[in-house]
């Protein structure tokens, strides 16, 4: 089976006839980033090693299983660490979803929906008054500090901390070494 020859990209500032976009605006298509579900020409792999794996059905099956396991592991790790303070939870789940989206169409669609929801929330938050954004930021910071304090009270400070940090934590009321 022969593949179609590569199509050279159109100049950035050219618009198609009848196009109402101004100069420098790109045409939006469903084939963004060449993910699963986009056209064959747009899906051409950027990495040669992945194209070689996809050429062999047995290797491709094993590769999909490995991608599925790594993505599922990241999602489960995100679910398990979501309640801990620090960068766990949502970023790990999104990373796992991104790994799965590299091979599975359903994950690609779900990742696009999550991205759209994040952009909608960001636009909504930007339209709010400044006092409300500041209050939301301070409320979030208070929740994080309260969560860290409860974690230290219930579990105690970690033993791997340097002595200076350990001495600081010993001075906080309710935190027992």
* CA–CA–CA angle 30, 15, 109 (5° rounding): 10
Cβ–Cβ < 8 Å for 100, 67: yes
The predicted pLDDT at position 107 comes to 92
Give the C-alpha separation, 45 to 30, whole Å. 17
Q: Return the DSSP state at 25.
A: P
Q: DSSP alpha helices (H): ranges in the chain?
A: 48-55, 57-81, 90-101, 105-127, 130-155, 163-170
Question: Of 127, 151, 166, which one is at a domain's C-terminal end?
Answer: 127
Q: DSSP alpha helices (H): ranges in 45-104?
A: 48-55, 57-81, 90-101
The predicted pLDDT at position 41 comes to 47
| Of residues 48 and 112, more confidently modeled | 112
Average pLDDT over residues 57-75: 92
Q: Clarify whether residues 113 and 168 are in a common domain.
A: no
* HSE-CB of 140 using CA atoms within 13 angstroms: 6
Q: Is the pTM of this model over 0.75?
A: no
Query: Where does the pLDDT of residue 18 fall: very low under 50, low under 70, confident under 90, or very high at 90 and above?
Result: very low
The percent of residues in the chain predicted with pLDDT above 70, rounded, is 72
pLDDT(70) > 90: yes
The span from the first CA to the last CA of the chain, in angstroms, equals: 68
Q: Clarify whether residues 123 and 39 are in a common domain.
A: yes
The predicted pLDDT at position 16 comes to 45
The predicted pLDDT at position 88 comes to 75
Average pLDDT over residues 30-41: 51
Enclosing domain of residue 146: 129-177
4 occurs within a structural domain: no
Q: Clarify whether residues 167 and 91 are in a common domain.
A: no
The predicted pLDDT at position 6 comes to 54
Q: Clarify whether residues 147 and 90 are in a common domain.
A: no
Cβ–Cβ < 8 Å for 97, 114: yes
| Of residues 175 and 3, more confidently modeled | 175
The predicted pLDDT at position 14 comes to 43
Q: Return the DSSP state at 87.
A: S
Q: Clarify whether residues 157 and 96 are in a common domain.
A: no
As a whole number, the mean pLDDT across the chain is: 78
The predicted pLDDT at position 40 comes to 53
| Of residues 170 and 80, more confidently modeled | 80
Give the C-alpha separation, 114 to 106, whole Å. 12
Give the C-alpha separation, 100 to 75, whole Å. 10
Structure tokens, 78? 């995100």
């Amino acid at each position: 089976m022969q593949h179609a020859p590569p199509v050279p990209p159109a100049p950035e500032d050219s618009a198609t006839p009848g196009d109402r976009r101004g100069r420098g605006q790109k045409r939006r298509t469903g084939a963004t980033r060449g993910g699963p579900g986009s056209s064959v020409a747009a899906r051409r792999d950027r990495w040669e090693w992945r194209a070689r794996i996809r050429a062999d059905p047995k290797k491709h099956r094993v590769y999909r299983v490995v991608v599925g396991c790594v993505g599922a592991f990241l999602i489960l790790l995100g679910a398990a660490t979501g309640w801990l303070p620090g960068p766990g939870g949502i970023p790990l789940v999104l990373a796992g979803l991104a790994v799965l989206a590299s091979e599975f169409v359903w994950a690609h669609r779900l990742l696009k929906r999550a991205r759209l929801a994040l952009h909608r929330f960001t636009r909504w938050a930007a339209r709010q008054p400044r006092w409300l954004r500041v209050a939301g930021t301070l409320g979030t910071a208070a929740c994080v500090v309260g969560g860290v304090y409860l974690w230290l009270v219930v579990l105690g400070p970690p033993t791997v901390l340097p002595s200076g940090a350990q001495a600081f934590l010993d001075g906080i009321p309710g935190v027992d070494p």
